[in-house]
Amino acid sequence: MLPNAEIQKILAEIDEKKKRADELALEFRRLYQESQEAYAEGDGELAKELSEEGHEAQDECEALNEEVADLYRELRDLKRQTARISVLPQTALQGMPVSFQKAVTDTLNTLPARHVSAKLIERVSYSDRYIVGSSGNPIQANTNFNKVTGKATIVINRQTPTGFKSLGNVEIATAHEVGHVVYREILTDRQKANWNSNFNHPKGPEESFAESYRYYYLNREKLAKDFPLAKIFFDQLNLE
């Protein structure tokens, strides 16, 4: 079901339950009043019967109010999800196994919305290519920046000559490429200079940032254990 249709369904359910809860509230108050009147008139048996009916109506009313509260929480989460979807980049992952497509989109949803905004990343796509780098290892993803718009396109490549074998590697590659976008488009010149002077990589400081970025958001404990200074640096960046 589309998010807007789901929102309307939840709103209708909330209205229905609230209406019934209001009816029950009136009913249990009436029953309690009549119970008091019966007791005052000396009819203890009727007073007890009316009181028990009132308790049943009140319990049902309170249960409905709890259900309404749960529905409001569900509605809030769905609205947040809908708002987030509207700012995510387009994805064109046809050709990838469905589970690997989901790994890409789940990773994007794990990362801060600001980092994966459509304002920064135009598209995340699948190339159906197997590319081997100079080191002899496959290039599982790469990022291209549009010279006119400045927006990034993240391209996911095949992990093996015949396809894919590791969901974890797809998640890592996706987060790593977003790290390149964050380095180029979000870090200030001063933040870049501080990073470049303290952390490096044979392929340059941007590569070390992208690797640290994917650890920070996918396996923060490992980053803290293996590269504690990088973890502290990311904490202080306050990128979110």
9 has a pLDDT exceeding 90: no
What angle (nearest 5°) sits at the alpha carbon of residue 194, between those of residues 190 and 195?
115
Task: Give the mean model confidence (pLDDT) for residues 144-150.
Answer: 90
Task: Give the mean model confidence (pLDDT) for residues 144-172.
Answer: 91
- What letter represents residue 210's amino acid? A
Task: Give the mean model confidence (pLDDT) for residues 203-229.
Answer: 93
Q: What is the token pair recorded at 206?
A: 């941007």
Instruction: List C-alpha distances in Å: 216 to 53, 105, 118, 237.
Output: 57, 18, 22, 12
Phi and psi at residue 148, to the nearest 5° = -90, -55
Q: Report, in angstroms and rounded to the nearest whole number, the Rg of the chain calculated over CA atoms.
A: 28
Phi and psi at residue 201, to the nearest 5° = -160, 150
| Distance (Å, whole) CA 201 – CA 135 | 15
| Distance (Å, whole) CA 158 – CA 44 | 80
The runs of H, that is alpha helices, within 165-219 are 167-185, 189-198, 205-218
Residue 3: what pLDDT?
57
Residue 82: what pLDDT?
58
Residue 25: what pLDDT?
92
**What is the pairing mode between strands 152-156 and 121-126?**
parallel
HEC profile for 118-134?
Answer: CCCEEEEEECCCCCECC
137 has a pLDDT exceeding 70: yes
Q: pTM of the entire structure?
A: 0.65
The β-bridge partners of 145 are: 152
Task: Give the mean model confidence (pLDDT) for residues 137-146.
Answer: 92
